[in-house]
Chain A
Amino acid sequence: MADKPRIKLPKEAAKGEVVQIKTLVSHVMESGQRKDAQGKTIPRKIINKFACEFNGKPVFACALEPAISANPYIQFDARIDEAGTFKFSWTDDDGTVITAEEKIALKA
């Protein structure tokens, strides 16, 4: 499972600029609706929460339901007022949390 999440955002931005962030994490997002070959329901296992913080302040969060496609792709924006670090986290139904960090600098 533990593929590194893919995150795309600019390396630097002007003060006050709104940048686009694209994230993708590998996950089956098992909906709990499917049945296996024996006709038994495959239990639900999804990422149920995504969150993004910048220098400790919340930027964007998302509660996910089984209706989200496998390998959830989430694209959103962030306003950059200072240089700093984005922290991303994906929380699985089983409690594991996948995390990632990205830095962004201010344009000189």
Chain B
Amino acid sequence: MKAINRRQAFALGGGFVMLTLLPMAADAEVTNDAAKWIEKFTGGKQPAKGKISLDLPEIAENGNTVPLSINVESPMTADSYVKDVMIIADGNPNAGVATLSFTPLSGKAEASIRIRLASTQNVIAIAKMSDGSLFTEQKTVKVTIGGCGG
């Protein structure tokens, strides 16, 4: 069999890249830029399920202010703590909601905020630990009155 030359190898590689990227691009069109936010935060690594408990109402009557509480399981010591937690809403005009940064001085990786949700959608949390490992959790919130715009 003939050995593959350099040019053919490039073409082959390009084909693979297209194949893997295309389905992702299609997803992003359907919703918003959530995939881009996640990609930037995780550096392309796949987060594992677990460690996070994400507390959101199942049905939010008013999307202007939806209470969100998050708690990530961690000893929060200098050697092992939760660094950052990114919160994403996949149906808002902009996917980003907040990025929480903890330190060992936080004592607990726990926070509550109030967020806006434009419509019924998934809220996704991704936690980055001090050792670089990633965890994720998501919840679907049904929104009766949207909270972005008029």
Interface size class of A (residues with CB under 8 A): 20 to 34
CA distance A70 to B113 in the complex (A): 11
Instruction: Judge if A75 is at the interface, Cβ distance under 8 Å.
Output: yes
A72: contacting residue among B76, B110, B113, CB under 8 A: B113
Within the complex, the shortest CB–CB distance from B128 to chain A, in Å, comes to 13
A67 contacts B101, C-beta separation under 8 Å: no
Task: Tell me if A28 is interfacial: C-beta within 8 Å of chain B.
Answer: no
A77 to B111: give the CA distance in the assembly, Å: 7
Q: How far is the CB of B85 from chain A (nearest CB, A)?
A: 9
- Output the nearest chain B residue to A59 by Cβ-Cβ distance: B105
**Do residues B97 and A65 form an inter-chain contact, with CB atoms below 8 A?**
yes
Residue ranges of B at the interface with A (Cβ–Cβ < 8 Å) = 64-66, 76, 89, 92-94, 96-108, 110-117, 147-150
A positions within 8 Å CB-CB of B: 18-19, 31, 33-35, 54, 57-70, 72-79, 81
What are 10 pairs between A and B in contact, CB < 8 Å?
A58-B101, A59-B103, A61-B100, A62-B101, A63-B98, A63-B101, A67-B97, A67-B115, A67-B148, A77-B111
